[in-house]
Amino acid sequence: MKYNELKNEPREKLEIELGEQLNALISASHALNVRAATKFDSSLQPAAFHIVRWLYSYGPTNAATLAESTAMDRSSVSRLVKQLQTLGYVNREASPNDGREIVLSLTEYGQQKIIDALKEKESVFYERLSEWKDAELHDFIQMLRHFNGFN
């Protein structure tokens, strides 16, 4: 017997409730990203913070990969990277593999600024999890991995 049959709730209602909770999570995460972006540098658009955040998480890359990975057009990425470079957050260097390709990476200053900005965001989520038992956190991580297709 399935869970929804035990609870006498139609699957559709459960799926709607899941959608509501996912929307709440995405909205809360977006709001925290905007706050972290402001803490990083209030003179920049949140999209620039998204680029810095991606470089921090995944490391050096070229503009084409960065544009594809962040779902931004190449001209926007180019403009934002120029701003980030001017402010000392991003380096542009020739690729060691192909001197014609430009590799983008965070400067040491950019790395420190992103770490500082992310501390506030992370503290909100950590606070929410502080009362959870390790087993609950483990199960939640496993469910998210499965949902995200990483199993």
**Could you give the number of structural domains in the chain?**
1
Place of tokens 């087993």: 135
- Give the CA distances from residue 8 to residues 4, 13, 15, 17, 121, in Å, rounded to whole numbers and listed in that order: 6, 11, 14, 15, 39
Q: What is the pLDDT of residue 47?
A: 94
Domain harbouring 95, CATH code = 1.10.10.10
Contact partners, residue 100, CB within 8 Å, separation at least 6 = 94
User: What pLDDT does 7 receive?
Assistant: 60
Asked whether residue 137 is assigned to any structural domain, the reply reads no
Query: Does residue 75 form part of some domain?
Result: yes
Assess if residue 14 is contained within a domain: yes
Report if residue 135 sits inside a domain. no
Place of tokens 């430009």: 102
Q: What pLDDT was estimated at residue 6?
A: 54
**Domain assignment present for 131:** no
Question: Is pLDDT of 1 > 60?
Answer: no
Half-sphere exposure of 127 (CA within 13 A, CB side): 6
- Report yes or no on 94 lying in a domain: yes
Asked if the structure places residue 32 within a domain, the reply is yes
**pLDDT tens figures, 49-76:** 999 999 999 999 999 999 999 999 999 9
Residue 22: the pLDDT is 93
Range of the structural domain that residue 111 is part of = 3-117
Q: Is 151 inside a domain boundary?
A: no
What are the tens digits of pLDDT across the range 4-48?
455 666 889 999 999 999 999 999 888 988 999 999 999 999 999
pLDDT of residue 49: 95
Residue 83: per-residue pLDDT: 97
pLDDT digits (tens, 9 = 90+) for 82-116: 999 999 999 999 878 877 889 999 999 999 999 99
Task: Say whether pLDDT at 3 is over 80.
Answer: no
How many CA atoms lie less than 13 Å away from 15 in the CB half-sphere? 3
